[in-house]
Each structure stands twice: as C-alpha cells, then as structure tokens.
Structure 1
C-alpha cells in the first residue's frame, strides 16, 4: 500500500489488472474512468485543494466521482443522503465546496430542487460546478476532452500523504455538525487494517450497503477494496429481496452491516429461495449483538461473523479477529486495530470509564473548529470518545454506556441536542428533551418529551410532522409525550437518565 489514494489506484491497476473492480470495470479500466472524471473536474475549474461535495446514494458513479476527486487533488466532502435541503446546504456552505455532485429525483425527493430552494431562502449561492447524476454524467465527462491526461496525472502525482483526503461531517452533542478531516495516509491506513483483518483479496466481491457518505462505507468499503483488489458492488438502498438476489447473482462474499440487516435477511419469507452460500464474512456493530444472533448467522449464512468499534474521528479503532468465539464477538468490539492504542479513562461510572484512543490514524481535527478539536484530543494525543467501556485481560473492548446522549437508530447516530434545537423552533414549545428508547427493529428510536408554553397546546402528530420537515428521517422522534414538566437537577439540566429509565420501564 502506498500512502495516497491516486498512487493506490495506479498500483491497483498494475497489481490487480483485469480483476473485477466495479460493476463491469476491471481495475485497469477503473483507473482509466477515474482519469476521465479528474480531467472533467479540472475542466470545470476546480483547483488543487478545492472541496467537492457529493450528495448521492451508493452507486458506481459515486465511486468514480470520489476517486476522481482525489486524482484531481481535491478534498472529498460526502453529504448524508437523508439530509434535508437545509441540512445539506449547511454542510456544503461551511465546507466551502466549489463543486457538487447531486442525485436527481431519488426516493420521491428531488434533492437538487430542495437544495436550490434552501439556497434561495438563505441567500447562499451553490457551488460553481453542479453536476446532477446520473442524468448529467455523460455531459460532465465530455468536458474533460479538452484536458490532456498528462495534466490529470500531474495533479495525481502532486498529492502528498498529509494532504486532506476527506472531510466527513458528523453531528456533535451540541447539535452543530463538525467536519472531521483525515489525511490520505490515515484514510488508507484504516482501510488497509480493516481489509487485512477481514482477509480481503481479489477473489472477494464486497456488497457495500453501508452508505458511502459514512466513514465506514467510504473507508472500510471503497478504500478497503482498492487496497486489496476486492470488487466493489454498491447498493443504493437496503432492500431485502434485492440484497438476497444480489448475493446470489454476484456471488457476494463480504457483507457488513448493522445486526438488523442480517435478521431481515434470515427472517424474510423468501430467504429459502435464494442462494446465500457465497457469503464468507459478515462484520457488524453499532448496536448490541446477542450471542444467539452470532451463532445463527454462522449457522444459517455460513459466514464468519466479526464485530468492530469506531467513530468518524477514528473510523476503525478495534475489531474482533477471525476465530474469535461467539461470546467474544457478541459481547466485545474486539481489540485494537489500525495502529490505535486503547485505554480507559477516569470519567465514567460503575460500568467502566471513558474510552480513549490514540494513534497515527486519529483525525487531523475538526474543520475550522480548533476549540472543538482541543476538547476532543488532549495534549497527550488521546481522543476522548464520549463512550464508556472496559477492557478485559486480552485487551478486548466492551462498550457499556455513553457519556454522550447520542443514540443509534438503524445504524445512524442521532444527537438529541440537534432534535431539541429543531423543536425549539416550534411555536408553543417551552422545553423539550429527547432520548433513545429500545426498538426491536432499529435498535433505538427517539422519544421526545415536550413541555408546552402556557396558553398553548400541541399534539404528538404535530410535533412529529414539524420535525419531519426539518430533519432527516432517522432523526425524527417516533413517539412524543406531552408533559407539564421534565425533571431537572439543581443547576437546571434535564435529568435524561430518569426519562430513559422511565421509558425502559414501559
């Protein structure tokens, strides 16, 4: 592995040659297509160091655009496809993106139209280069005919290992999203570590259902395949019948995802009619994994099952290893990976302390936010994750709780402060508190406790509809309880642990 993405792509074309890379493309052909994208980006006026936003679901064109950005010496800024136009515009504007790829109508939403409406309302201009995919893809590529390959190759050769490869925005506990910056060497190192533990090789076909806008989908997905020679098979939306069909048709060998993905596959009434025997590896996490589920996956899918732990600021910090027993896989997140040190800090409680991480692949910092960076990474280089855990005598990590209020809905992080900030804009709301409550399908979903202002009244459907218009679907509370008051401590802070306990008691 070399330490820039363009150099890895060139090496992959040399080393893996005619091995399948992406849909009908071999690794040699992948390099040629990425060059075309890079030339078109240069023709579009984007300069080295400019940022390219990508707001689209998983597809071959997403992969080509992302790799083309790196080849043209740009910084990639993926945007969550579940964001509303307002949320997406915020990320695009704060990242100062000079280019944008945006999907056309998808799942009933015209994202470009939503973005234009938000931009007009906020008085914020869109980037200078806007390409709608897939409809505008061919026209975009044709622009590159005026740029020689040598110019694109010179851009690629000029990329250094310490250049910022990507900025991935993730919400913080304050509710304001932060842009996590990673260098080429870091994104590739975590990808290589994941690929090595997973045993990826040119014989693998990797179905990537995890969104590419997520650090896992991008780095343990696209880049992990790039460094190992595995084939990338993107899926835009998880659909059980289609996923089962793809596994059989494409002879998929690797399929990561949250636990609900596997239970959905195994419990589907049509499962017996599909051949899933090609699967050899399932990697999961993001929620509690019962030992019985691990055993069932190994028996019914015939696959090795591993769990892992990471966050956008570190991507892959710990991971189980092939051969670990079902109890270890279910109850731990594995041991340190990708050059990370793991230790348990003092903050925490009876169930452990705060999980601290240190290593060469910790993020460079938050974009334009030195204060938040200093809060996250201390003077000794330890990243404070906000998660509570413990280490066993083997060095295996178990996450036991969260210092943060964040909960995970269907594999997506939800930060209550962001939802509460949206609710504060609803006329009639005096105060709100949002917590995660257990859900058999999604792991956790939001419950909002809302206190109305005197003389005002609201209904639960009104509150949910208000949120739905302003927040991505997974952030919208599934239930609302209207209260005369919520519990506070002496300093006025809402005692959310009481609300969580109440919800757990039913």
Structure 2
C-alpha cells in the first residue's frame, strides 16, 4: 500500500461520492469544487511563504475555508493549529506561542465575537513567531500584525508545487486540557486522521446513496473534524452548521432527511424541545452523543420514544473522536453508555487497576488505556507530557475511568483526577487558577466543578494578598477580568474569598482537599 493512501487527499473520492460533498449554510460544494478550493488555498499559502513545517493557526467557525486550509497545508507539508472560537486572549496567546504559528487565518467577525478586540489584548512580544494575519470576510482588522485578505477563491492562481510531504509528520494540532497554564497541543498526522476516517466510514457502513451527516460541532475540535472527515471519506454529503443553534439544526435534520449526527446531550435536548411531532426524524439511523449533563439517561429514553436513536460513544483529542460507539444490536441501556465498540479492528482497549497497577479483569473499573491507529503522535513541544501519556508498549493513558464488558466493548465511567468538564470541554483547574492569581489582590486560588441548576459550572476560592489596603478583591472585578481573558464556560459562577484552603497532611506533603472545597461551594450556594 502506497503512502498516499494515508494522505488527506485520499479521502476525496470523486468517482464514488455523491454531490455535493458539503453544504455550507445552504451553499453546495461539489467534490470537484472542493478539490479546486484546496488547490487554490495551497497556492495562496505558498504565496504567503508557507511551506514544509510551517504552522498556520486557523481561528474560524465552520466554513469551507477551514477544511480547505487543512487539506492545502497537508499538500505543502505545513501544519494547521486549530483555535477554538470560544478562546479569548490568554488562550490564543498561549496557543500561538507554543505552536510557533507563522500565520493566523481569522474571522473578521462572527455574531458577538470581536476577534480584533481579543487580538488587541495579545501582546506582540508574547507571540514572536507570528508574522501576519489573513482575514476571512474583510480586508483587514485592527491588530499588532500586518494583515491581508484571505482571497484564495477570488481569482485563479498558478498551482503550488506539492511538497514531498511525509504522511507521518504532524499536520493538525488540537488543543486539550493542560496541567499548567494553557492547553496542550495534540499532534496528528495525515495517516492518523485518514486511517481513522476510513475506519469510521467502514464501521458505520456508510453509503453515499443512503446516508447524510449534520455537522453541528466545531471543526476546531476532534468531535467536529473527525465526523466530517469520516463522512467525506465515505462520499456522503455533509451539511454544516457554522455554529450550533437548535432551530437551524432541526430544520436541516427534517428537510434533508439526515441519517447521522453527533453532539452533546444538551444539543439533542434543545433540538427535541423545539418540535412537538411524535416522530420528527423517521430517517435517523444513529445520533451519537457525549453525556455531559445530569439526566442524560432520561433524555436518551425520551429521544428513543420519539424515534431519535441515541448512541453512546467515546473519544478524545489524543485518540480522536468517534473512537468507539454503541451498536444497534446492543441492549438500549448498554447502547447509550459512553464507550462502546472501537471503530478500528486494529484498536485495543485495556483497563489498568489504579490501586494495584495491574491490568484489570472484565467488570473491574480502572484507567482506560488505548492502542490504535488513531492515536496521536504526541504533545507538540512537550516531550515530558508525551512520555507520561504513553506506556512502554505504546498505549495511551487516557486518564479516564472505565471497565471492560468482556465482549469486545467497554464502558466509560468518569474522568480521573481533578479535570473539569465545562461547556462540553475538558478544562484543567490550573488554567483558571493561574489567571486568577495574575489578578491584582489575589495571592492564591483554587477552582472546583459543581452541579449548578443541572449544569456543570466552576466555583473559585481565592486567598487575598496580605498587602491589601483597600479590602479583599471583589467578585465582580475578578469576573470581569476573567471574561476578558478566558472563554465564557471557564469563568467561575461564584468567586469566594477565604483565609485558607482546607488541607490534609500526608507522607507526600500537604494536599488541598478539593472534595471539601466542592462541599463548601455547594453549601455557600445553597445558603444564597
């Protein structure tokens, strides 16, 4: 098998695919047109002096330019760093610095997001490698860097000479929770992306004539990107939402007889709430969901009764989304659990007992470890984190707790450690704590997740600086500062000032009692 069989370009199968390949906001894009856009984007990037090994940060909502940039970068041997559109200045600066991005392709504006204002809060000295901005939808935006208009599709350009790109080198960087300030960058190659896309297409038995996808998750995350690449590989039309809203999603699901969609439990809950039809989606085959909110089992039962078959699944940036999914032949209670059956026949899942360190037998909970063709290359510029995440025999330590069923499937139970699931994203407390500690008047901080009115939110505790002369810092001022620096889902619902954190002395040192902090948070909220 030739290396090009594992390239992203190999996923564009014009001879077997249905047209259009994509539909963006009602605008169809055929396979041939998409291939042309990729060629034009590669030529445009080459004209911007982007070549092998260069990093292009992409800060866009779901649009054809996003996918074209990824495929074009692959042709040139360049790397795309995916920027979450919900990121704010601190997170954007961290990503640009760690990735060493040379160019950033950015939205001019989208709804309430002021990209220019966010970039204005990023000091140029923080990101010395960034040379230029390319703006989609406008000529320029106010910023510290020179900016040009992304006009790759406006006029034909001479094709760029494809680099002799190695399908095993990094081509896409996702962000994931880090243990220190800012996310880690998860590196994937063309081989890991293309191989997994083909595995998903085969496992779901996708047919260009029978199936269609509603892509309602952002391309900047593995959930949205993996599903789109898999259905492209199968030659199945992908209907794309630029950003999720329940009403447009409901309309597309009905009008275009969508058979597959993937999202969070909250997304499907909102869609169902907008229709009174007893069976609104008779064409639905598999709607895969990740459970982030309480009451997801009840949601799945209600959806089932109305003809929306929900399937539990599992994935991460490191092993890619849709790593596994439930099967239609599973009992309903098993099918909706997180985990399921690996998409790739070459994937292996095992569970390690966290107490003994030995591999666990069927039914015993422990840390999930995965070996699969979809596994990431490593964390960019972070050898220590990569070494810690991979076992000696090549399994990824997921940090998730689960158990094997014994029939080839597994169950995801919960996240190990203190990481928080906020707004559908995994967030390290340290990221928010570092931002709080940078605020005037704050000596130290701790952040925990709580269930607040059925939603996962975080609550912060801060210790004021001793040299304060004007009283302790106020929640309103701290909250306002964090809203400028962080995505909204990371901003604490409450910020409490305390004199000290509850701690426990142990043989390994003093440990903060995070469970006690969570209890304190709930007690104070209840008292309010």
TM-score by length of 1: 0.89
Question: Aligned to 2:167, what secondary structure does the other structure show?
Answer: coil
Residues 504 and 114 of structure 1, relative CA distance in 2, 3 Å threshold: closer
Is residue 2:16 matched to residue 1:15? yes
How big is the shift at 1:161?
Answer: 2.6
Is residue 2:144 matched to residue 1:140? no
How big is the shift at 1:432?
Answer: 1.8
Residues 410 and 323 of structure 1, relative CA distance in 2, 3 Å threshold: farther
1:130: which partner in 2?
Answer: 133
1:284: which partner in 2?
Answer: 289
2:388: which partner in 1?
Answer: 375
Question: Aligned to 2:219, what secondary structure does the other structure show?
Answer: coil
| Matches of 1:241 and 1:255, distance apart in 2 | 15
Length, aligned pairs only: 494
How big is the shift at 1:142?
Answer: 6.2
Q: What do residues 53-89 of structure 1 show as CA deviations (whole Å, max 9, x unaligned)? A: 1001112222222222223332111111111133213
Is residue 2:42 matched to residue 1:2? no
How big is the shift at 1:132?
Answer: 0.7
Q: What do residues 73-118 of structure 1 show as CA deviations (whole Å, max 9, x unaligned)? A: 3211111111113321321232122222100122323314432441
2:457: which partner in 1?
Answer: 445
| Matches of 1:133 and 1:411, distance apart in 2 | 27
Which region of structure 1 is more displaced relative to structure 2, 49-58 or 249-258? 249-258
Q: What do residues 371-415 of structure 1 show as CA deviations (whole Å, max 9, x unaligned)? A: 111111122212111122222232432333332211212311121
Match of 1:416 among 429, 433, 449: 429
Q: Give the RMSD, CA atoms, in angstroms.
A: 2.7
How big is the shift at 1:501?
Answer: 4.3
Is residue 2:299 matched to residue 1:299? no
Correspondence 1:74-153 to 2 at 5 A: 74-120=78-124, 122=125, 124-125=127-128, 127-135=130-138, 140-141=151-152, 145-147=156-158, 149=159, 151-152=160-161
Match of 2:515 among 497, 500, 506: 497
Q: Do 1:70 and 1:165's aligned partners in 2 also have CA atoms closer than 8 Å? A: yes
| Matches of 1:143 and 1:98, distance apart in 2 | 23
Residues 413 and 123 of structure 1, relative CA distance in 2, 3 Å threshold: closer
Match of 1:224 among 216, 223, 230: 230
Residues 112 and 13 of structure 1, relative CA distance in 2, 3 Å threshold: farther
Structure 2: 5+ residue runs without aligned partners? 140-147, 357-362
More helix by share: 1
Q: Do 2:14 and 2:235's aligned partners in 1 also have CA atoms closer than 8 Å? A: no
Structure 1: 5+ residue runs without aligned partners? none
1:25: which partner in 2?
Answer: 29
Which region of structure 1 is more displaced relative to structure 2, 348-357 or 255-264? 348-357
How big is the shift at 1:225?
Answer: 1.9
2:258: which partner in 1?
Answer: 252
How big is the shift at 1:441?
Answer: 5.2
Q: Do 1:51 and 1:77's aligned partners in 2 also have CA atoms closer than 8 Å? A: yes
2:62: which partner in 1?
Answer: 58
1:209: which partner in 2?
Answer: 216
How big is the shift at 1:274?
Answer: 11
Residues 175 and 351 of structure 1, relative CA distance in 2, 3 Å threshold: farther
Match of 1:479 among 494, 500, 512: 494
Q: Do 1:168 and 1:312's aligned partners in 2 also have CA atoms closer than 8 Å? A: yes
TM-score by length of 2: 0.86
| Matches of 2:390 and 2:222, distance apart in 1 | 19
2:342: which partner in 1?
Answer: 336
Question: Aligned to 1:334, what secondary structure does the other structure show?
Answer: strand
Q: Do 2:353 and 2:366's aligned partners in 1 also have CA atoms closer than 8 Å? A: yes
| Matches of 1:8 and 1:342, distance apart in 2 | 26
How big is the shift at 1:146?
Answer: 4.6
Which region of structure 1 is more displaced relative to structure 2, 64-73 or 98-107? 64-73
Q: Do 2:135 and 2:150's aligned partners in 1 also have CA atoms closer than 8 Å? A: no
